[in-house]
């Protein structure tokens, strides 16, 4: 397999689907035109109206690399090889045009012939009784039946949200090899460890979930697929985690350099630099799309991400504001095609600068107060922080509770 940069892979994907007749759209905003969602969480979100049949597309098929934000798994970010708050979803879409046969065979063609992944390491999963998908995988692609796994709704049915477009899906998995396995005897396709990596989700969007949970058939049979660019890049670059790809590595290296730590030498500082790299990308892209820090909605998420990044920075000794320094690196990596980063560079810098300084002040005040309290407790041989202190820190000073817990942990206080 040929080594490629993340940018080359993005382009390869778009070119492939253009060659199949899809219309190319630039990424839509992270702020969706949809009151049911806070962020664009998947490539299909901007096209919801086409799925529902409320609007008609001027072309029946499309391809994008879509900026996405998902924060439901924020606690895992940095702890695993794959979780991110900001990521790019490579996706192809069809409304009443090609369906399962083409979606599956073309996805296979892209991965095996264009990217060069080893077909012998690939598996497919399908929804329980989706015989049509089974037939395509088995008879047309030629994947042996024992490499096609059937799973239920949790694994192989995709819902956009509580309401809206949904349908059964088929996922393409890639066996990274036994060295990536959790080692459990049950480790197989579907295991949550890193061995069988889910690379591409092909959704056959045929229903509109109603408020009462019922599934209303959509006017047309549709396709919605999503593959994480970061994940695909990690396979092609043969690295153990998305953070080691060229999409992330310069950010990781910079965080290590300013903190004076070495990546891979200490689990705690590795976690901190990964969180900082991840959140720095989110901050830049969110502000570029017009989000500002606030106490609600998207702005609250932005504020929370910035504070988390600063807090992780403190843990590796970054006491001075540092987040703006990541912007030129993000622009170098992703300024093409995301020209909004350059266009909004000054605004992004100003917003980060102000918010980071404000929070640094909060942190300083809170840390001083907490340090004093901890020394007092130690003198008294007391090992328990009064809950009222933690509350005052949070309520009056805006000092995050997790930070109080962490600082207490470090000092042996409960
Ligand atoms: N919408 C599906 C997903 O997010 C496929 O793009 O996985």
Q: Rounded to an integer, what distance in angstroms lies between the CA atom of residue 126 and that of residue 2? A: 29
Q: From first to last of the 414 residues of the chain, give the pLDDT tens digit.
A: 999 999 999 999 999 999 999 999 999 999 999 999 999 999 999 999 999 999 999 999 999 999 999 998 888 999 999 999 999 999 999 999 999 999 999 999 999 999 999 999 999 999 999 999 999 999 999 999 999 999 999 999 999 989 999 999 999 999 999 999 999 999 999 998 999 999 999 999 999 999 999 999 999 999 999 999 999 999 999 999 999 999 999 999 999 999 999 999 999 999 999 999 999 999 999 999 999 999 899 999 999 999 999 989 998 999 999 999 999 999 999 999 999 999 999 999 999 999 999 999 888 889 899 999 999 999 998 889 989 999 998 888 888 787 788 788 878 888
Residue 155 C-alpha to ligand 1 middle, in angstroms? 12
Calculate ∠ Cα 393-399-405, nearest 5°. Answer: 80
CB of residue 44 inside a 6 A radius of ligand 1: yes
Which residue's CA lies nearest to atom 2 of ligand 1?
A: 226
- Cβ neighbours of 209 (radius 10 Å): 18
Burial 325-350 (b: 16+ CB within 10 A, else e): bbbebbbebbeeebebbeebbeebbe
Mention every residue, 6+ apart, whose C-beta is less than 8 A from residue 140. Answer: 101, 104, 105
Q: What is the pTM of this model?
A: 0.93
Residue 203 C-alpha to ligand 1 middle, in angstroms? 7
Which residue's CA lies nearest to atom 6 of ligand 1?
A: 226
Q: Rounded to an integer, what distance in angstroms lies between the CA atom of residue 194 and that of residue 80? A: 9
Q: What is the 8-class DSSP label of residue 267? A: H
Q: Taking Cα atoms as reference points, which of 174, 167, 172, 134 lies closest to residue 150?
A: 134
CA 320 to chain centre: 28
Number of H helices and number of E strands within the chain?
A: 14, 9
CB of residue 43 inside a 6 A radius of ligand 1: yes
> Ligand 1, closest atom to CA 41?
4
Q: What is the 8-class DSSP label of residue 336? A: T
The two three-digit tokens of residue 200, written as one number: 């591409």
Cα–Cα separations (whole angstroms), residue 280 to 84, 266, 307, 411:
11, 21, 11, 29
Residue 147 C-alpha to ligand 1 middle, in angstroms? 22
Q: Which of 37, 39, 43 to mutate to test the pocket of ligand 1 (most atoms within 8 A of CB)?
A: 43
Residue 267 C-alpha to ligand 1 middle, in angstroms? 31
Backbone angles phi, psi at 252, to 5 degrees: -60, -45
CB of residue 202 inside a 6 A radius of ligand 1: no
Which residue's CA lies nearest to atom 1 of ligand 1?
A: 42
Q: Which of 44, 103, 160 to mutate to test the pocket of ligand 1 (most atoms within 8 A of CB)?
A: 44
Concatenating the DSSP letter of every residue in 348-364 gives HHHHHHHHHHHHHHHHH
CB of residue 302 inside a 6 A radius of ligand 1: no
Q: Rounded to an integer, what distance in angstroms lies between the CA atom of residue 21 and that of residue 27? A: 18
């Amino acid at each position: 397999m040929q080594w490629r940069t993340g940018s080359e892979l993005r382009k390869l994907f778009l070119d492939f689907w253009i060659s199949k007749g899809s219309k190319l759209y630039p990424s839509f905003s992270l702020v969706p035109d949809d009151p049911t969602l806070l962020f664009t969480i998947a490539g299909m979100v901007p096209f919801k109206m086409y799925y529902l049949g409320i609007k008609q597309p001027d072309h029946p098929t499309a391809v994008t690399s879509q900026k996405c934000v998902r924060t439901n798994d924020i606690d895992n970010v940095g702890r695993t090889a794959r979780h991110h708050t900001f990521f790019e979803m490579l996706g192809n879409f069809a409304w009443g045009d090609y369906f399962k046969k083409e979606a599956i065979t073309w996805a296979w063609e892209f991965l095996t012939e264009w990217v060069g992944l080893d077909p012998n390491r690939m598996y497919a999963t399908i929804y329980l009784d989706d015989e049509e998908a089974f037939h395509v995988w088995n008879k047309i692609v030629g994947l042996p039946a024992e490499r096609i796994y059937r799973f239920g709704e949790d694994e192989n049915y995709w819902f956009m949200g509580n309401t809206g477009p949904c349908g059964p899906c088929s996922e393409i998995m890639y066996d990274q090899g036994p060295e990536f396995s959790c080692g459990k005897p049950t480790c197989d396709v579907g295991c949550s460890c890193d061995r069988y990596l889910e690379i591409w989700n092909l959704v056959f969007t045929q229903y509109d979930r109603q408020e009462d949970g019922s599934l209303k058939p959509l006017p047309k049979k549709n396709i919605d697929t999503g593959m994480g660019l970061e994940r695909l890049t990690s396979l092609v670059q043969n690295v153990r985690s998305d953070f080691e790809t060229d999409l992330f590595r310069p950010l990781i290296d910079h965080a290590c350099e300013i903190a004076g730590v070495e990546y891979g030498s200490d689990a705690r500082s590795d976690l901190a630099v990964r969180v900082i790299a991840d959140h720095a990308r989110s901050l830049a892209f969110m502000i570029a799309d017009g989000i500002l820090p606030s106490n609600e909605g998207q702005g609250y998420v932005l504020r929370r991400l910035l504070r988390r990044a600063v807090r992780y920075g403190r843990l590796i000794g970054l006491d001075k504001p540092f987040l703006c320094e990541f912007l030129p690196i993000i622009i170098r990596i992703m300024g093409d095609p995301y020209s909004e980063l350059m266009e909004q560079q000054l605004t992004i810098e100003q917003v980060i600068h102000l918010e980071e300084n404000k929070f640094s002040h909060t942190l300083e005040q809170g840390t001083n107060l907490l340090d004093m309290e901890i020394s007092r407790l130690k003198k008294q041989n007391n090992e328990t922080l009064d809950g009222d202190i933690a509350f005052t820190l949070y309520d009056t000073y805006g000092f995050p509770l997790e930070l109080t817990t962490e600082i207490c942990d470090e000092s042996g206080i409960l």
